[in-house]
Amino acid sequence: MNGLEEIGTNPELPFIEVDVIAAATDNFSPNNKLGEGGFGPVYKGRLFNGKEIAVKRLSKNSGQGMEEFKTEVLLIAKLQHRNLVKLLACSLEEEEKMLIYEYMPNKSLDSFIFDKIKSALLDWRKRFEIIVGIARGVLYLHQDSRLRIIHRDLKASNVLLDEEMNPKISDFGTARMFGRNQSQANTTKVVGTYGYMSPEYAMQGLFSIKSDVFSFGVLLLEIISGKKNCVRYSHEHRSTNLIEHVWDSWKDGQALEIVDSSMRDSYPTHEISRCIQVGLLCVQESASDRPAMSSVIFMLENETKMPTPNQPGLITRRTFNGQDSSPSINEVTISMLDPR
């Protein structure tokens, strides 16, 4: 069973026969394909009772996919929160291994905030609700669940939206479980997505709840600006990424200039300014300076005095040659898995 015995004895996760899933997806028709995940294709399906589902199908002969499959099923089956996608069942046979999730009709957050037309459907009030919902989901993973989970790949495409546009964090294939007294860990295999990784994780393989906080901060700034962090922007005749652009604008007292123009004037300036400052606190270079998610939620929802952010942690893709200076903490060439 290639290490899947523990899944097979998990009492919290129902099993569905493969032929039932095949019927629900019209035999995995290309017309029902929703996309390609980290370990294989994802299909929309409809069960006999009319319930819509999303089916993750493990690609055959995928070694990394198998590890992600086991991690996801063993972790998420134990998690229950309104801002986490719900795993309904799994299907295991010799040649087929699948995870069955609740179906999210509005797809993922990135399909809205980075789309010029669809982004206009998200006014500030809805964006703020999405930001707080994601924060509550991350807090549950870090503090309130039976386990302590570090997601390690929090990003816009891993936040799904239900029919009411409520956010649900998904894709736990690279997540790691911590003991209650454990605060950080090292890995020699850095996996995740460029643009959302904290510097200490990308360069030293060091991850903790504070590396998730960094990813959340990037995501928050993307939701406010409607722009991707990994795209380059021009600021005073130099090229920057989104974090640098927001930092420079905030220092110049022009933070509101980064707000997505599709929201027009639908936002209270004091509230969105507070959220921008929270985002900058989350992406500070030093992990110890970043707030815990409980503090993030408090600052988002309350008029309170906040610390002044320090220099953000910046990772840029740059190839160094013999004539270049050595890379600093803020400037490093990294090669990593980018599933987008």
Residues 37, 132 share a domain: no
Residues 193, 119 share a domain: yes
Is the model's pLDDT at 46 over the cut of 90? yes
Residue 162 CA to residue 168 CA, distance in Å, equals 8
- Number of folded domains that form the chain: 2
Residues 162, 68 share a domain: no
Question: Which pLDDT belongs to residue 338?
Answer: 34
Residues 257, 174 share a domain: yes
Helix (H) or strand (E) holding 222: helix 209-225
Residue 268 sits in a domain whose CATH number is: 1.10.510.10
Q: Give the model confidence (pLDDT) of 90-122 as tens digits.
A: 888 877 889 999 999 999 999 999 999 999 999
**Residue 139 included in any domain:** yes
Q: How far apart are the first and last CA of the chain?
A: 30
Q: What is the 3 state secondary structure string of 274-296? A: HHHHHHHHHCECCHHHCCCHHHH
Q: Which of 1, 36, 285 is nearest to 171 (CA)?
A: 36
Burial 298-308 (b: 16+ CB within 10 A, else e): ebbeeeeebee
Task: pLDDT band for 65, please (50, 70, 90 cuts).
Answer: low
Residue 85 DSSP SS3: coil
Residues 290, 177 share a domain: yes
Question: Which of residues 80, 102, 124 is at a domain's end?
Answer: 102
Task: pLDDT band for 194, please (50, 70, 90 cuts).
Answer: confident
Q: Give the model confidence (pLDDT) of 69-79 as tens digits.
A: 777 777 777 78
User: What domain range is 64 assigned to?
Assistant: 5-102
**Residue 114 included in any domain:** yes
Q: Is 153 tagged catalytic?
A: yes
Other C-beta atoms closer than 10 Å to the C-beta of 337 total 14
**Residue 257 included in any domain:** yes
Residues 115, 21 share a domain: no
What's the whole-model pTM score? 0.86
Better-predicted residue by pLDDT, 293 or 266: 293
Task: pLDDT band for 242, please (50, 70, 90 cuts).
Answer: very high
Surface-to-core class of residue 102, CB atoms within 10 Å of its CB (0-12 exposed, 13-18 middle, 19+ buried): middle
Residue 4 CA to residue 268 CA, distance in Å, equals 51
Question: Which of residues 44, 71, 102 is at a domain's end?
Answer: 102
Question: Which of residues 53, 81, 102 is at a domain's end?
Answer: 102
**Residue 274 included in any domain:** yes
Residues 15, 155 share a domain: no
Residues 237, 288 share a domain: yes
Q: Are 240 and 246 in contact (CB under 8 A)?
A: no
**Residue 339 included in any domain:** no
Mean per-residue pLDDT, 214-232: 93
Other C-beta atoms closer than 10 Å to the C-beta of 218 total 28
Cα 110 to Cα 88, 263, 340, distances in angstroms: 24, 16, 11
Mean per-residue pLDDT, 144-149: 82
Residues 177, 77 share a domain: no
Other C-beta atoms closer than 10 Å to the C-beta of 9 total 8
Cα 66 to Cα 96, 104, 144, 156, 306, distances in angstroms: 11, 24, 28, 24, 44
**Residue 63 included in any domain:** yes
Task: pLDDT band for 38, please (50, 70, 90 cuts).
Answer: low
Q: Which of 289, 332, 309 is nearest to 247 (CA)?
A: 309
Task: pLDDT band for 335, please (50, 70, 90 cuts).
Answer: very low
**Residue 336 included in any domain:** no
Q: Please tell me which residue in 153, 171, 212, 260 is annotated as part of the active site.
A: 153
Mean per-residue pLDDT, 183-202: 77
**Residue 310 included in any domain:** no
Residues 136, 76 share a domain: no
Task: pLDDT band for 28, please (50, 70, 90 cuts).
Answer: very high
Q: In one letter, which amino acid is 86?
A: K
Residues 192, 129 share a domain: yes
Residue 25 sits in a domain whose CATH number is: 3.30.200.20
Residues 34, 140 share a domain: no
